[in-house]
Amino acid sequence: MLDWLDQIDKHLFLFFNAMHSPVSDNIWLWVTNISTWIPLYIFFFIIIIKVFKKDSVYVIAGLLLVVLISDQFTSSFMKPFFGRLRPCHDAEIGHLVHVVNNCGGKFGFASGHAANSFGIAMYIWLFFKSYWKWTWLLFIWAIAVAVSRIMVGVHYPGDILIGGLTGAFFGWLIMVLTNEIYFRIKLEPLIKN
């Protein structure tokens, strides 16, 4: 069963990774670059401070914790534990992989980029869905970041799927914990319905 899933993952990866051109390579490299999104992260902080005022310290601390836990869980636990090679390091298909910049570390399961972007999207969506109905659009951003990892040649679709689910789980969990801690301190929920 696992071999069958692995082969499907490799075929899907090669199908999507083969869709490249010099223009698309530059676009996907831009999307996958963490520094590209610094203005978006600054915008998140500004909106959090504007909406939550002095209580924004709880929301920002939770958001930073989401990124820290998502990143460390995928990078420090999952990648060495599962030991699944990145496509560009895989002897079976490595010669077919179009790598845009560099291959990265040896192991790729699960994607830290996907975990972090979906963790951020889930956390912010849960806090802001009652304030702004369009907050769900953050998941489109998270999908773009995750897909970029296939397009630049460093992750299988399974890597980004599990990374995204991992990040979304931690985004939800940290939101629940942040709200609970706030409630225990202030005796009222942080998220207003």
The per-residue pLDDT for range 77-92, each reduced to its tens digit, is 999 999 999 999 999 9
| Whether the bond into 110 is cis, omega within 30 of 0 | yes
Determine, yes or no, domain membership for 176: yes
User: Amino acid identity of 97?
Assistant: V
Q: What is the pTM of this model?
A: 0.94
- Checking if the pLDDT of 1 tops 70, the result is no
User: Is residue 134 assigned to a domain?
Assistant: yes
How confident is the model over 27-47, as a mean pLDDT? 95
Q: Is there a domain that residue 93 lies in?
A: yes
Q: What is the mean pLDDT of residues 174-193?
A: 86
Supply the pLDDT for residue 147: 97
Quick check: 160 pLDDT over 90?
Answer: yes
In a domain, 83, yes or no: yes
Q: From residue 86, give the alpha-carbon distance in Å to each of 6, 47, 93, 141, 157.
A: 12, 37, 10, 23, 11
- In this structure, is residue 163 part of a structural domain? yes
**Mean model confidence pLDDT for the chain:** 94
Continuous H helices in the chain: 2-17, 22-32, 38-52, 56-72, 79-82, 112-128, 138-151, 157-186
Residue 191 lies in a domain: no
Count structural domains, the chain.
Answer: 1
Q: Which amino acid is at 53?
A: K
Confidence of residue 94 (pLDDT cuts 50, 70, 90): very high
Q: What pLDDT sits at residue 191?
A: 76
What is the reported pLDDT for 142? 98
Q: Is the model's pLDDT at 111 over the cut of 70?
A: yes
Per-residue tokens: 168:
């979304």
Please give the distance of CA 177 from its chain centroid, rounded to a whole number: 20
The range of the structural domain enclosing residue 71 comes to 2-186
Is the model's pLDDT at 192 over the cut of 80?
no
Dist. CA 173–CA 75, nearest whole Å: 19
Could you tell me if residue 6 is inside a domain? yes
**Alpha-carbon span 87 to 150, nearest angstrom:** 9
Is 192 contained in some domain? no
